[in-house]
Amino acid sequence: MKTPIFEVKNLSYSYAGGIPALNNINLRVMRGESVALVGANGSGKSTLLRLLDGLVFPSEGEIDSAGMPLTEKALQNAAYSREFRSRVGLVFQDADVQLFSPTVWEEVLFGPLQLGVPRSEAAYRATEALELLGISHLKDRPPFRLSGGEKKKVSIASVISFSPRVLLLDEPTNGLDPHSQGVLIDFLISWVADGNTLIFSTQELDLVEELSSRIIVLGMEHTIVADGRPEDFLSNADFLLKTNLIHEHAHRHKSLVHRHQHAHEHQHAADEQGHGI
């Protein structure tokens, strides 16, 4: 069997002061998978993505990435660190923390240059990333003074620009207008089809259906309560209610209309996947 991209074994994590964030997590992600992480606020999605990106390290348990243990020690090795960072990219939930350069252009160049991509190649990739997200015109603007959605796009571009093979996205469509969401989703679908790996967290169940081949649900106890094909869970209203993924009230008023759409799209997505894979 092939080595998994990530292998997480008995992982628990608590923040300073003993605040639990993840509890006994086991999971394995293979190359080419598109995994949706869902769960209520505070269930631990962002924390899990940080752990997978080697930014924080498990309180208990371990993570292997491509067969190598992902530890603080291992990442102190410059060669390994560069290899891992080039391979895995994380887009943070809060775009503000991810933007720290004086201009958008330098922001998008930061990753490739730090990771040793030659300048001309880096500039090419940065230009491409900006074009893909339709923000070339923002190139010389300071990232601090952009709209929320623009910031999000810049932060996505700044990760795409170093062409990681594994993308970790923390609520990527948050704050994007419908058109931009569509563009991003199209990109991600084709990107995964090229054999890359995607793990993203989201609150939007539509996105799960459109984009993922697998769903992992984190519960309020910070454990994995479900792991499987999206269609097996998303039709189960009781389950969704129980894991706080939908609200009865909204469900009755808004989602009734939605439900039709869901069923419809669901069919659609399934068809597409059938073709794609």
Q: Which two tokens stand for residue 39?
A: 């769960």
Nearest distance, CB of residue 16 and ligand ATP, angstroms:
6
The least CB distance from residue 225 to ligand ATP, in Å, is 13
Q: Which does 81 bind (CB under 5 to 8 A by kind): ligand ATP, another protein, Mg ion, none?
A: another protein
Nearest approach in angstroms of CB 139 to Mg ion is: 29
Binding of ligand ATP by 15 (CB under 6 A): yes
Verify binding: residue 41, ligand ATP, rule CB under 6 A.
Answer: yes
Residue whose C-alpha is closest to residue 50's, from 24, 87, 21: 21
Q: Taking CB under 8 A as the rule, which mask of x and - marks residues 84-123 in contact with another protein?
A: -xx--xx-x-x-xxx-xxxx-xx--xxx-xxxx--x----
Asked whether 58 and 51 are in contact (CB, 8 A), the reply is yes
Return the number of the residue (47 or 181) whose C-beta is nearest Mg ion: 47
238: Cα within 13 Å, side-chain hemisphere: 0
CA distances from 153 to 109, 130, 131, 156 (A): 14, 9, 11, 5
CA distance 261 to 254: 11
Task: Give the CA dihedral 188, 57, 151, 247, nearest 10 degrees.
Answer: 70
Give the x-and-dash track for 216-255 against ligand ATP (CB under 6 A): ----------------------------------------
**Amino acid (one-letter) located at 108:** V
| Helix H or strand E encompassing 64 | strand 60-65
Q: Which residues here bind another protein, judged by CB under 8 A?
A: 16, 50, 53, 55-56, 78, 81-82, 85-86, 89-90, 92, 94, 96-98, 100-103, 105-106, 109-111, 113-116, 119, 140, 142, 144-145, 158-159, 162
Q: Which residues here bind ligand ATP, judged by CB under 6 A?
A: 15, 19, 21, 39, 41-47, 93
